[in-house]
Amino acid sequence: MVPLLAGVVALLNQVLTGLVGFLNPDLYQKLAISPGAFRDITRGNNAIYQARQGWGFCTVWGSPVGAAI
């Protein structure tokens, strides 16, 4: 997930012709509630937590959809 998100941020930096800066507040306050910004992962586990619908310890918000972000 980290390399994918790093690639998305690099593309955002190019489009905006500058640095997007610290994204966590935007990711958690705006994008996480935007329909289609993340693919929800509802199956599987990480050996500690089970994936579930919505936010969870295993997958957090899910897999980001680069074009939607």
Long-range contacts: 55-59, Cβ < 8 Å, 24+?
none
* Band (59; pLDDT cuts 50, 70, 90): confident
The confidence score (pLDDT) of residue 32 equals: 66
From residue 43, give the alpha-carbon distance in Å to each of 7, 47, 66: 25, 13, 21
Question: Looking at the whole model, is its pTM more than 0.75?
Answer: no
Q: 1 pLDDT exceeds 70?
A: no
> What ranges in the chain are assigned the alpha helix state H?
2-16, 24-29
Distance in angstroms (rounded) separating the CA atoms of residues 37 and 13: 18
pLDDT in tens, 2-34: 787 788 888 888 998 888 888 778 777 777 677
Give the other-Cβ count within 10 Å of 58's Cβ.
Answer: 15
Percent of the chain with pLDDT over 70: 96
